[in-house]
Structure 1
């Protein structure tokens, strides 16, 4: 299943928990959600501009987004941490991607992502950013 589809599933669960009151963002979590959304938006820009970048820049941006997610997970506990950890786990294949050719194919298992795989991961990051922005402002 695509990363975007998996993240959509996680987002749907988060939205349901927020709607039914199972998960209520604290003011601290709301700030973290907005900060994380901004970091994700900065890392993975708009699709219409981002797709034209070289693969190495797109991969670097995705890794930066994963780092932003990891930093937020490290700084909080409870539902926000669980939500972002689950979403991050579906984005983990990005960590096995490479942008450079490897003579002799000695890459520690790293593979070249396709354009579609890059776009799928970027769309998943954008969805997380949108969800975090909305949740951070609704809290």
Structure 2
């Protein structure tokens, strides 16, 4: 996930530099709001890593909800960027933190321990890019 978000961020930076994407004032405001909401959802690594898996998963799902709501309020480049970021983070929706009998979890899987950190780092990288967009 982190690699995919990094590629999206690089593409956004390239579009800023070549003038393909010039965020509007509305884009900048929405990017700032989404960045703040993502920061509230996913804490710094030393905090996140100390949380139980169920809380880490809840915070990651909250981050996806932030993106979903933001997408409903924007069009164009920012909407495309946020939609691609949501798609990159979508595997989180198939994770579970609770035990389940075989075949009774609707296909949800227990993530590997490193997958939480990867998804959280991806959200943090996304925050950085949204900060850049809001300052553009």
Q: TM-score range by the shorter chain?
A: over 0.9
**Aligned equivalents of 2:45 and 2:16: distance in 1?**
28
Secondary structure, in 3 states, of the residue corresponding to 2:58?
helix
Alignment of 1:28-107 (within 5 A): 28-107=26-105
Deviation of 1:105 (Å): 3.8
Runs of 4+ in structure 1 off by over 6 angstroms are: none
TM-score normalised by the chain length of structure 2: 0.97
**Aligned equivalents of 1:104 and 1:70: distance in 2?**
31
Unaligned residue ranges in structure 1 (runs of 5+): none
Secondary structure, in 3 states, of the residue corresponding to 2:111?
coil
Unaligned residue ranges in structure 2 (runs of 5+): none
Deviation of 1:85 (Å): 0.4
Across the aligned residues of Structure 1 and Structure 2, the Cα RMSD in angstroms comes to: 0.8
Deviation of 1:86 (Å): 0.7
**Aligned equivalents of 2:30 and 2:82: distance in 1?**
11
Q: Is 1:13 equivalent to 2:11 in the alignment?
A: yes
Deviation of 1:19 (Å): 1.4
Q: Is 1:23 equivalent to 2:21 in the alignment?
A: yes
Deviation of 1:90 (Å): 0.9
Give a deviation string over 1:31-57, Cα, whole Å, max 9, x none: 000000000000001011111100000
Deviation of 1:115 (Å): 1.6
* Alignment: residue pair count: 136
**Aligned equivalents of 1:36 and 1:63: distance in 2?**
14
TM-score normalised by the chain length of structure 1: 0.95
